[in-house]
Amino acid sequence: MIEINWDALRAVANSAMRRAYVPYSKFPVGAAALTEDGRMVSGCNIENASYGLTLCAECSLLSDLFMQGADGSQGAAGNRLVAFTCVDGHGNILMPCGRCRQLLFEHSAPGMILETVSGMRTIEQVIPDAFGPRDLEERK
């Protein structure tokens, strides 16, 4: 089991939050996650005048995951997320929305831990009975 330094993970999320592009909502969000191989990935929200096109911090975090070398194959060694946190403009912990929970589930290791407003939770607890790549593998 990999050691999780939550203070360092929160610091990366706060750094990402300061890069958010939020001219409309003025609500910056930063996210950070740890991969199985010990890398940290991060992201911030990027708003758009067409609000529906806004990217959540979790979306840009997943882009960072792939930009750092994830090869797109499910379960590729080291590419899955094991720990995640998300903060607002004041450094307070935020819970990912349902859409982002599904996005995180897609790239999580089983049992990934999320720091949430109600304490530490696994990905399975925050999106129970989720459908994802593991389901597809089981049904081949």
Catalytic positions are 58
Helix (H, G, I), strand (E, B) or coil at 18: coil
Sheet holding 81-87, edge to edge: 40-44, 30-35, 81-87, 108-116, 119-122
- The letter for the amino acid at 6 is W
Beta carbons within 10 angstroms of residue 32's beta carbon: 28
Angle CA(2)–CA(103)–CA(45) in degrees, nearest 5?
95
